[in-house]
Amino acid sequence: MRASILTIGDELLIGQVIDTNSAWLADRLSELGFEIIKILSISDSSRAIAEAVNELMGQSDIVISTGGLGPTSDDRTKPTLCELFGGQLMLHKPSLSLIEQLFHKRGLPLTETNKNQALIPSSCTPVLNYHGTAPGMIFRKGNCYLVSLPGVPFEMKNMFTGGVRPFIEQNFTLPAIVRLTVNTFGIPESFLSDKLRGFEKYLADRGITLAYLPSPSGIRLRLSATGDEKSRLSSLLDLAVNELKGLIGENIFGFNDETLPSAVSKRLREKNTTLAVAESCTGGYISHLITQLPGSSDIYRGGIVAYSNEIKRNVLGVSNELLMSHGAVSRPVVEAMLDGTLRVFRCEYAIAVSGIAGPTGATTGKPVGTTWIGVASSETQQVELFTFGNLRDINIQRAAYTALFQLLKFMNHI
């Protein structure tokens, strides 16, 4: 089964906005078993829309389009589709009622323009929009469906999951696909692929495909199996994951949507304990990664961004002798930062980082990228030297994720 994605909007074609809808939809559609053949972006012009819809419908079993459904005159998708598929604009009462609720909740008056959003072509099957004013529309021509959704990512995603996905599952016979993502850290891609050479053969023999998804927050390994029976595929993947654990177990920190910050938070919560962070080169980024997650105040007590030596001395109690004899970017200073953090925040666990993010700050023997990362409990501590690269942004990210990974390993071993 072939699918295409069509994103409509002038803002895409002048580069004002990065199209994130397409990758999200492509991911969901491939998970459902479709082969995506084209992702196309065009402007808000009736002619461009009609041409693209006709072309893509001629090549695909389903086309998902997003955008161009706003209430103003520069949004051309609805009138164009109405003309293309026939029928006339009719009031869709359930959509009107949702629009009324939306405006009522926001305390805003409902204008005629907004009411008109509930008019949809009689030739379509509507998709309810619980978070915005534009209903979705599903059209059919021959054996191909066109699904038109609004371009606002939050609305589009909810409508796809709640309305379009069930429609697809009902109207298409698709292969069973099971996917599982294994999230790893601390092993570079080339080493990982060397280590997994035999495993890749194992997967190939069982018809499982493997994709490497690298980023500064780790390499995710995506396993996919396609066949008839979901349960059989799930067992196949479970066996494969066990195999993988035997090979790179210590580098696996989670599965699917788990991230290093969420894995660390979960572990702290399981242990019913708390963490504080002392950061130098990461400048608050570790604290940000943890506090981004809802409920972080249960497990995170706070942090110090100790950018100057004075703060390392005055707040964390790092001695002037250590700072002078070893420099701020050194093992003894990070050890003292850990002690200070545990004392000041009265917590069970601490992270401390001191490094040179660049582009300036390098000294003899300490190039840009030199980073000491320490983790500690009230009983013991562990400090290691890492050497990252030349790019400030990436160094900050790598140092932060490495610190979280070090803490996770540390908590699992003690």
Give the SS3 label for residue 65: strand
Which one of 139, 253, 345, 349 is in contact with a copy of itself (CB under 8 A)? 345
Counting Cα atoms < 13 Å in the Cβ hemisphere of 291 gives 12
> Which of 264, 265, 286 minimizes the C-alpha distance to 277?
286
Nearest residue (CB) to a copy of itself, 116 versus 291: 291
Q: Can residue 236 be called a binding residue for a copy of itself (CB under 8 A)?
A: no
Distance CA 147, CA 60 (A): 12
For residues 336 and 246, is the Cβ–Cβ distance under 8 A?
no
Number of residues that bind a copy of itself (CB under 8 A): 70
> Which of 270, 245, 268, 269 minimizes the C-alpha distance to 255?
245
Q: Can residue 373 be called a binding residue for a copy of itself (CB under 8 A)?
A: no
Q: Can residue 119 be called a binding residue for a copy of itself (CB under 8 A)?
A: no
Nearest residue (CB) to a copy of itself, 140 versus 269: 269
What is the nearest approach in angstroms of a copy of itself to the Cβ of residue 88? 31
Which one of 163, 254, 358, 369 is in contact with a copy of itself (CB under 8 A)? 358
Q: Can residue 109 be called a binding residue for a copy of itself (CB under 8 A)?
A: no
Which one of 33, 71, 79, 284 is in contact with a copy of itself (CB under 8 A)? 284
> Which of 129, 143, 132, 148 minimizes the C-alpha distance to 66?
148
Which one of 74, 194, 229, 310 is in contact with a copy of itself (CB under 8 A)? 310
Nearest residue (CB) to a copy of itself, 145 versus 285: 285
Q: Which residues contact 353 (CB under 8 A, 6 or more apart)?
A: 278, 279, 280, 281, 282, 286, 334, 371, 372, 373, 374, 399, 400, 403
| Start-to-end CA span in the chain (Å) | 51
Name the segment binding a copy of itself (CB under 8 A); options: 86-94, 109-117, 167-175, 310-318: 310-318
Distance CA 218, CA 299 (A): 23
> Which of 289, 257, 246 minimizes the C-alpha distance to 402?
289
Which one of 25, 137, 353, 403 is in contact with a copy of itself (CB under 8 A)? 25
Nearest residue (CB) to a copy of itself, 126 versus 317: 317
What is the nearest approach in angstroms of a copy of itself to the Cβ of residue 154? 9
Q: Say which amino acid occupies 193.
A: S
Q: Can residue 23 be called a binding residue for a copy of itself (CB under 8 A)?
A: yes
Which one of 8, 22, 136, 375 is in contact with a copy of itself (CB under 8 A)? 22
What is the nearest approach in angstroms of a copy of itself to the Cβ of residue 380? 24
Nearest residue (CB) to a copy of itself, 292 versus 412: 292
Q: Can residue 102 be called a binding residue for a copy of itself (CB under 8 A)?
A: no
A 10 A CB-CB count for 205 gives 8
* Range 286-305, binding a copy of itself (CB under 8 A): 286-288, 290-292, 294-297, 300-305
What is the nearest approach in angstroms of a copy of itself to the Cβ of residue 318? 13
Q: Which DSSP letter does residue 272 get?
A: T
Q: What angle do CA 93, 99, 101 make, to 5 degrees?
A: 105
Which one of 54, 113, 122, 314 is in contact with a copy of itself (CB under 8 A)? 314
What is the nearest approach in angstroms of a copy of itself to the Cβ of residue 361? 8
Helix axes 46-59, 77-85, angle to 10 degrees: 50
For residues 37 and 3, is the Cβ–Cβ distance under 8 A?
yes
Token pair listed for 261: 């910050």
Which one of 1, 32, 33, 43 is in contact with a copy of itself (CB under 8 A)? 43
Which one of 8, 42, 127, 383 is in contact with a copy of itself (CB under 8 A)? 42
For residues 144 and 61, is the Cβ–Cβ distance under 8 A?
yes
Binding site for a copy of itself (CB under 8 A): 11-20, 22-30, 36-43, 48, 211, 213, 222, 277, 279, 282-288, 290-292, 294-297, 300-308, 310-311, 314-315, 344-346, 358-361, 392-393, 396
